[in-house]
Structure 1
Amino acid sequence: MPDNILVDVADNIALLTLNRPARLNALNYALIDDLMAALDRIETDAAVRAVILTGAGERAFSAGADIHEFSESVRAGRDAAIRDFVRRGQAMTARLEAFAKPVIAAVNGLAYGGGCEVTEATHLAIASERASFAKPEIRLGMPPTFGGTQRLPRLIGRKRGLELLVTGDPFSPQRALEIGLVNAVVPHHELLPAARQLAQRIIRHSPDAVAAIITAATRGLNMAISEGLQVESEQFASLVGSPALTDGLAAWRASRPPNV
């Protein structure tokens, strides 16, 4: 069997590819577990400064959860469905959201259901002009379960989010850009180069500063602003005295580029 996750590291960027193209990169349990394991490995790899996540093949980023597999969990009962399906999927999207290195989704095709939830959880996203998005769980008689009822309204606003969640209608990459789900839409052949260019713009800066910003912004979204400001202060304090901040200030005073 081919690897569920392909990993390629070049120029300090890890390209992770969801690799079930015959099943439209559906998120079965093995793929989710393998993605989590890949994230564990690259998190401590100093050679990796940023992550790009995409899908194999020409049709899909990910068409969502593997319905055949999770149907068996549902058939086994509530406890099994929550343990095997919901908790696993929520852990995956929470891991992506809280990852200390920037994660960029390169959405190359269908991003339905869980695939859309992965896009919501990543820090940044670029979509191919061939991409298509949808929240179709309502058609199965259920809500999204990988965090979609929470992240999507926070990202794009309650009314916009609810419209997509309760209709299940697909929407274009241009609409995804308009509502703030993705950062850019590019011609299909430019998708990975555009994602790499964005990653390069990030990794030219201190990795500790990047991680502090991701942590403060991600945690602060779910807090009152007073609590978020405390997190911001804590993240700054963690860098006081660090080589990166010391050199950054010295570089600014000397009008030279910082050493990253």
Structure 2
Amino acid sequence: MTEPVLFHVADRIALLTLNRPDKLNALSYALIDALMAALDRIETDPAVRAVILTGAGDRAFSAGADIDEFSTNVADGRAAALRDFVRRGQAMTARLEAFSKPVIAAVNGLAFGGGCEITEAVHLAVASDRASFAKPEIRLGMPPTFGGSQRLPRLVGRKRGLELLLTGDPFPAQRALQIGLVNAVVPHAELLPAARALAQRIIRHGPDAVAAVITAATRGLNMAIGEGLQVEAEQFAALVGSRDLDAGLAAWRERRPPRVSG
């Protein structure tokens, strides 16, 4: 049986590929569970410093949730739909958002529904010039269920977010760049090299500092500024006396590049 998520590591970067190209990499329950298991494996592996997430084939990053599968849960009632569908999807995007190592989406095609929600949740995103995005859940008579009603307006602004959520209209990669959903748009053939180059620019820094930045920024966005500043202070305090901070300060004093551990 074909693996729903492909896993490959090179140069301290894990490449995770959503692997249902015949279904436009729709997010089946098996695929979501496999992605969560891969993240568990990566988080405890010190040899992996960053993650790139992409889709198999040339057509889609992910066209969203597997409608055939979750419609069965909807037919079974609220409790089943919430337990099996909504909570599973929200756990996935929350895990990506709070992951302690940088996660970069390499959006290679359609990123509709849940595929767009993954893009919203990850730390950084690079899109192919062939990529397109949409929030089409309203066409099914429902709001987004994997966090999109909350993250998208926070990312792009309330009115822009509501326009996309309420119309369900698709929008191209350049529009995603303009509104801040992705960090860059590159020619399709350069997508993975561009994502790898971005990952390398991050992992040249110490892993503890990278994790502290991700934690402070991600948690702080959902807090009042005073609480966020406390998180920032806690993350700094945890690094006092660490090898990376001591080495970084020594390198600055000696006017040389720091030597990064890990």
* TM-score > 0.5, shorter chain as reference: yes
Letter in 2 for 1:29: Y
Instruction: Report % sequence identity.
Output: 82
Letter in 2 for 1:2: T
Q: Which residue number corresponds to residue 143 of structure 1?
A: 143
Deviation at 1:110, TM superposition (A): 0.2
What is the rounded CA distance, in whole Å, between the counterparts of 2:224 and 2:252 in structure 1?
A: 33
Which secondary structure state, in structure 2, belongs to the residue aligned with residue 17 of structure 1?
Answer: strand
> For residues 154-179 of structure 1, what are the alpha-carbon distances to aligned partners after superposition, in whole Å with 9 as ceiling and x for unaligned?
00000000000000000000000000
What is the rounded CA distance, in whole Å, between the counterparts of 1:29 and 1:2 in structure 2?
A: 15
What is the rounded CA distance, in whole Å, between the counterparts of 1:150 and 1:217 in structure 2?
A: 16
What is the rounded CA distance, in whole Å, between the counterparts of 2:46 and 2:208 in structure 1?
A: 12
What is the rounded CA distance, in whole Å, between the counterparts of 2:127 and 2:210 in structure 1?
A: 23
What is the rounded CA distance, in whole Å, between the counterparts of 2:122 and 2:195 in structure 1?
A: 13
What is the rounded CA distance, in whole Å, between the counterparts of 2:215 and 2:188 in structure 1?
A: 31
Q: Which residue number corresponds to residue 40 of structure 1?
A: 40
Unaligned runs of 5+ in 1: none
Deviation at 1:257, TM superposition (A): 1.3
Q: Which residue number corresponds to residue 165 of structure 2?
A: 165
Letter in 1 for 2:151: R
CA-based RMSD of the aligned residues comes to: 0.3
Deviation at 1:204, TM superposition (A): 0.2
Q: Which residue number corresponds to residue 26 of structure 2?
A: 26
What is the rounded CA distance, in whole Å, between the counterparts of 1:230 and 1:150 in structure 2?
A: 23
> For residues 226-246 of structure 1, what are the alpha-carbon distances to aligned partners after superposition, in whole Å with 9 as ceiling and x for unaligned?
000000000000000000001
Q: Which residue number corresponds to residue 216 of structure 2?
A: 216
What is the rounded CA distance, in whole Å, between the counterparts of 2:186 and 2:20 in structure 1?
A: 24
Q: Which residue number corresponds to residue 190 of structure 1?
A: 190
Which secondary structure state, in structure 2, belongs to the residue aligned with residue 202 of structure 1?
Answer: helix
Letter in 1 for 2:226: S
> Does 2:117 correspond to 1:103?
no
Unaligned runs of 5+ in 2: none
Deviation at 1:255, TM superposition (A): 1.1
Which secondary structure state, in structure 1, belongs to the residue aligned with residue 258 of structure 2?
Answer: coil
Letter in 1 for 2:104: I
Q: Which residue number corresponds to residue 85 of structure 2?
A: 85
Letter in 2 for 1:244: D
Deviation at 1:3, TM superposition (A): 0.4
Deviation at 1:118, TM superposition (A): 0.2
User: Given the two structures, how large is their TM-score scaled by the length of structure 2?
Assistant: 0.99
What is the rounded CA distance, in whole Å, between the counterparts of 1:243 and 1:32 in structure 2?
A: 36
Deviation at 1:252, TM superposition (A): 0.6
> For residues 173-209 of structure 1, what are the alpha-carbon distances to aligned partners after superposition, in whole Å with 9 as ceiling and x for unaligned?
0000000000000000000000000000000000100
Q: Which residue number corresponds to residue 3 of structure 1?
A: 3
Deviation at 1:135, TM superposition (A): 0.1
Q: Which residue number corresponds to residue 52 of structure 1?
A: 52
Q: How does 1:224-235 map to 2 (within 5 A)?
A: 224-235=224-235
Deviation at 1:82, TM superposition (A): 0.1
Deviation at 1:259, TM superposition (A): 1.2
Which secondary structure state, in structure 2, belongs to the residue aligned with residue 111 of structure 1?
Answer: strand
What is the rounded CA distance, in whole Å, between the counterparts of 1:108 and 1:239 in structure 2?
A: 37
Which secondary structure state, in structure 1, belongs to the residue aligned with residue 65 of structure 2?
Answer: coil
Q: Which residue number corresponds to residue 250 of structure 1?
A: 250
What is the rounded CA distance, in whole Å, between the counterparts of 2:153 and 2:248 in structure 1?
A: 37
**Stretches of 4+ moved more than 2 A in 1?**
none
What is the rounded CA distance, in whole Å, between the counterparts of 2:162 and 2:57 in structure 1?
A: 31
